[in-house]
Structure 1
Amino acid sequence: MNNTTPSQSLRWLSLLALAGGVAGAWAQPLSAPGLGSDPQLPAPAKKGLLPTVNIAPAVGWSEGQMPQAPEGFKVTALAAGLDHPRWVHVLPNGDVLVAESNKPEPEPGTKNVHADGLRGKAMGMVMKRAGAGPASANRITLLRDTDGDGVAETRSIFLQNLVSPYGMALVGNQLYIANANAIVKVPYETGQTSISAAPVKVTDLPAGANHHWTKNILASADGSKLYATVGSNSNIGDNGMAAEEGRAAIWEVDVASGNKRLFASGLRNPNGLGWEPESKALWTVVNERDELGNDLVPDYLTSVKDGAFYGWPWSYWGQNVDSRVKPANPEMVAKAVAPDFGLGSHVAPLGLAFSDARMPAPYASGAFIGQHGSWNRKELVGYNVVFVPFVSGRPSGVPVQFLGGFLNDEGKARGRPVGVTLDAKGALLVADDVGNTIWRVAPAR
């Protein structure tokens, strides 16, 4: 009798495919709960007085250390000694922009239950140990690798005095930046190493307490629209739904007018955005809710349907009701769309970059995802970059670890991956906000 489940079969098919493509490779197929298109969901854990808190203390990289990539790839530090680098964007001439950024101060008069009282203070101390405590540098730095050796010879402050900048998008001769409170733009000319022009506001973005402060943007193919991610202001609407107005969503912004509309909602904390190359569909990665147990709720990778509602805060993974949210909202739960692909619970996916043929098989078709790592789980997960293979525009197997070694043997963080993108030559760039480094992973041809 064959007792193999469909998810196990999928895992082994992925393993065989990757093993055939990269013999002896270091890439590791993952087998944590909550993976795949139809993950098994356990019953929610009972809520305790304090949440499970286990986060890897930040220690940084020692001299000579670097992340580990599969056999056949070379890792270099494109730039080190940065100040909390969170996001990367590659300009058409190959220059790399890095958003050096951290959480902004809450706006006056806003409330965030996660920041108040003993609970909030304890969480704040834990996050500082994890490397999330420094004040935001509020700038974008430009890196230029003039000789192509994978190390930037030129580093300059490109734009400063921003408000916790994150996502960036170049449309024509205008560079758009997603601050924590608004999308702004500045003029750009090819080859510029700094910009002195004052940013011009395109449109406001929901801010306030900014429990989830990161805002990412992605331009449409014709440059007429920007898609902007806005995370929730709490775990499950803890500050009341009025504080969540316009949040847990992706907005579509008209570039010419600055007018915007809700494109999709119920996405607790969407971050990375990408156009899937074959289907041309918009995809995102989402951090799901906390405090339902070690194996709930799976963070996910999903296509984003215009007008769709993905459940937050009333339900998760489609129509699984979160009974903690009061009052209940069965009408909204009935509308909830299940995401496409589970990445595992509490892995904290942030970066998303679709691959192309410049990467060797089996990494030429699929998605690279920067996973920042868990804090609300007994056993640490994430703290790596994973690759999800795609076939015909859809995920076709479980994630494999593409870049690891961010945790040492004592469970401390040498680094934490955030933004990922392909550079002008097709190598993967990874922003590491604990290691303060931009790593470059290139095929060793």
Structure 2
Amino acid sequence: MIRLFGPAVVVAALFVATTSFAQQVDQPVLMGKAAFGDWKADRPGVRRLIRPVDMQAPYLTESVSNGAGLADRPEGAKPILPPGFSVELIASGIASPRVVRLAPNGDLFVADSRANQIRIYRLTEGSAKPAEETTFAKGLNRPYGIAFYPPGNDPQWVYVANTDSVVRFAYRNGDLKAADEPESIVADIPSSHHWTRDIVFSPDGKTLYLSVGSGSNVAEGIGKEPEGGLEPWLKSQPLGAVWGYEQGRADVLAFDPDGKNRRSFATGLRNCSGMTVQPATGALWCVVNERDELGDNVPFEYATTVKDGGFYGWPWYYIGNNEDPRHQGERPDLAGKVTVPDVLMQAHSAPLNIAFYDGKSFPAEYQGDAFVALHGSWNRDIRTGYKVVRLKFKDGKPTGEYEDFMTGFVIADDAVWGRPVGIAVARDGSLIVTEDGNGTIWRVTYNDGPT
């Protein structure tokens, strides 16, 4: 990468961010248009509540292409956190650290997607320093999701979601390298356009969930009805299923653990790029990248429970009964049948992963909340995202609020050094975060002192 700014500019930008954070006090929840801020308004503790009624009409602003200019991480730069939290660098210089998952013994399994491999980091107890660092498996195809089976403390397999398949490796606690070649479990997954495939098991271990993102922005060119007509299609397919080259996409699929008994679990999720199971309820959750080219604030991104048989709108509707103008009048039969997501986030924030906090080392009020990594998107005039946020829960249910937790990755309007992707809770209660802008992995701890 090319450094886009000199040291003085970088230091000044970091100083402004730090000073703004230091001056921040408890603020009211930002709602409505006030919640549609950009990166300059981001700092730990800023809270937002976005509701379906806050949705603007499409095309109020021009759709822009504003990809992030990646800069080298400034010397000594670290993410900014709330008071009492500290962050340490685990590793850097990784090609593409994406999903991170915790093995039952505490090892960090990291999908190094562009390098087509799975890496393992075994940390020294109570430290961010890796005691061991190995490559568990090579020769994969843009690996992303990772899951251990059966759930619990004694897994026999580690599953990996390639972009076009799901494979599994024989595994015993503590293995640092795969002993055998992978076994194919699910084959023939379409792999164009959205390529990230996440996987997770149900708490009872009987169901393997697989997310498959769409093959386009908004199903351009599929035609107004499938071959053979719409009525026969409706009788044979799940609610909201798409045909043509999008068939079987924008879905969460379900399988038996051996990859058999394939079935559709939920439809209309444009790109469910990260999934997890809520410990308190056993509910499946995912975070979704919504469609582009409708304006800066349309439509909202979201995190949601994934309901069996649920239809979430894509490509005909979004966030309830908001009809996409590019498919106007095509599916009136679906009006009123769209499941409204649980937590709405700013448009074009690009949420990629979600993890519930069930550790014990953070303050008690964090227990049961969820963290979401926002990667940032190209389709917004002044960028947002590029941070980790905390979704607020009460009695196991989302309040709809989310709060900035980990910021400081943006240097200027046209440059960032970090793009958060993976997030996981370690056995000691620390939070592990990956970002693929500079290829780093971080460990966040709480020490009830200055950051």
Does the alignment pair 1:189 with 2:169?
no
Determine the C-alpha separation between the residues in 2 that align with 1:370 and 1:297.
Answer: 18
Determine the C-alpha separation between the residues in 2 that align with 1:11 and 1:326.
Answer: 32
- What amino acid is the match of 1:226? L
Counterpart residue number, 1:432: 435
Following superposition, the deviation at residue 27 of structure 1 comes to 2.0
Correspondent of 1:201 among 164, 184, 190: 184
Q: How does 1:317-328 map to 2 (within 5 A)?
A: 317-325=319-327, 328=330
Determine the C-alpha separation between the residues in 1 that align with 2:171 and 2:280.
Answer: 30
SS in 2 for 1:398: strand
Following superposition, the deviation at residue 41 of structure 1 comes to 1.0
Determine the C-alpha separation between the residues in 2 that align with 1:10 and 1:74.
Answer: 25
Determine the C-alpha separation between the residues in 1 that align with 2:328 and 2:412.
Answer: 42
TM-score by length of 2: 0.81
Structure 1: which 4+ aligned runs deviate by more than 4 Å? 8-12
Counterpart residue number, 1:45: 59
In the alignment of these two chains, the number of paired residues is: 385
Does the alignment pair 1:65 with 2:77?
yes
SS in 1 for 2:184: strand
Determine the C-alpha separation between the residues in 1 that align with 2:168 and 2:438.
Answer: 29
Does the alignment pair 1:174 with 2:157?
yes
Counterpart residue number, 2:215: 233
Following superposition, the deviation at residue 45 of structure 1 comes to 0.2
Determine the C-alpha separation between the residues in 1 that align with 2:370 and 2:70.
Answer: 27
Deviation per CA, 1:259-283, whole angstroms, max 9, x where unpaired?
A: 2210000001112212223222111
Determine the C-alpha separation between the residues in 2 that align with 1:45 and 1:233.
Answer: 23
Following superposition, the deviation at residue 9 of structure 1 comes to 7.4
Counterpart residue number, 2:40: none
Determine the C-alpha separation between the residues in 1 that align with 2:297 and 2:420.
Answer: 21
Does the alignment pair 1:423 with 2:426?
yes
Determine the C-alpha separation between the residues in 2 that align with 1:257 and 1:81.
Answer: 35
**8 A Cα contact 1:139 1:162, kept in partner:** yes
Deviation per CA, 1:313-350, whole angstroms, max 9, x where unpaired?
A: 00001111112027711113342111112111111001
Q: Cα gap change, 1:237/1:257 in structure 2, threshold over 3 Å: closer, same or farther?
A: closer
Q: Cα gap change, 1:267/1:257 in structure 2, threshold over 3 Å: closer, same or farther?
A: closer
Counterpart residue number, 2:135: 157
Counterpart residue number, 1:220: 202
Q: Cα gap change, 1:79/1:346 in structure 2, threshold over 3 Å: closer, same or farther?
A: same
Q: Cα gap change, 1:225/1:279 in structure 2, threshold over 3 Å: closer, same or farther?
A: same
- What amino acid is the match of 1:225? T
- What amino acid is the match of 1:169? A
- What amino acid is the match of 1:178? A
Determine the C-alpha separation between the residues in 2 that align with 1:191 and 1:39.
Answer: 50
- Aligned-pair identity (%): 39
- What amino acid is the match of 2:415? K
**8 A Cα contact 2:186 2:259, kept in partner:** no
Correspondent of 1:316 among 297, 315, 318: 318
Following superposition, the deviation at residue 206 of structure 1 comes to 2.8
Unaligned runs of 5+ in 2: 1-26, 32-42, 150-154, 223-242
Following superposition, the deviation at residue 196 of structure 1 comes to 4.1
Counterpart residue number, 1:78: 90
Deviation per CA, 1:134-164, whole angstroms, max 9, x where unpaired?
A: xx21000111113431121321111010011
Does the alignment pair 1:335 with 2:337?
yes
- What amino acid is the match of 1:301? A
Q: Cα gap change, 1:205/1:339 in structure 2, threshold over 3 Å: closer, same or farther?
A: farther
**8 A Cα contact 2:44 2:80, kept in partner:** no
Correspondent of 2:99 among 87, 91, 112: 87
SS in 1 for 2:130: coil
Deviation per CA, 1:217-265, whole angstroms, max 9, x where unpaired?
A: 0111122211111110001002524111111011111103522210000
Q: How does 1:121-160 map to 2 (within 5 A)?
A: 136-160=114-138
Determine the C-alpha separation between the residues in 2 that align with 1:199 and 1:402.
Answer: 38
Deviation per CA, 1:115-147, whole angstroms, max 9, x where unpaired?
A: xxxxxxxxxxxxxxxxxxxxx210001111134
- What amino acid is the match of 1:413? V
Unaligned runs of 5+ in 1: 1-7, 13-25, 102-135
Following superposition, the deviation at residue 78 of structure 1 comes to 1.4
**8 A Cα contact 2:146 2:199, kept in partner:** yes
Following superposition, the deviation at residue 37 of structure 1 comes to 4.1
Q: Cα gap change, 1:157/1:401 in structure 2, threshold over 3 Å: closer, same or farther?
A: same
Determine the C-alpha separation between the residues in 2 that align with 1:193 and 1:278.
Answer: 31
Determine the C-alpha separation between the residues in 2 that align with 1:46 and 1:441.
Answer: 39
**8 A Cα contact 1:97 1:140, kept in partner:** yes
**8 A Cα contact 1:169 1:176, kept in partner:** yes
C-alpha RMSD of the superposition: 2.0
**8 A Cα contact 1:428 1:441, kept in partner:** yes
**8 A Cα contact 2:343 2:401, kept in partner:** no
Determine the C-alpha separation between the residues in 1 that align with 2:414 and 2:60.
Answer: 26
Counterpart residue number, 1:251: 253
SS in 2 for 1:402: strand
Determine the C-alpha separation between the residues in 2 that align with 1:158 and 1:322.
Answer: 44
Counterpart residue number, 1:290: 292
Determine the C-alpha separation between the residues in 2 that align with 1:222 and 1:397.
Answer: 28
Counterpart residue number, 2:397: 394
Determine the C-alpha separation between the residues in 2 that align with 1:43 and 1:169.
Answer: 40
- What amino acid is the match of 1:99? A
Following superposition, the deviation at residue 364 of structure 1 comes to 1.9
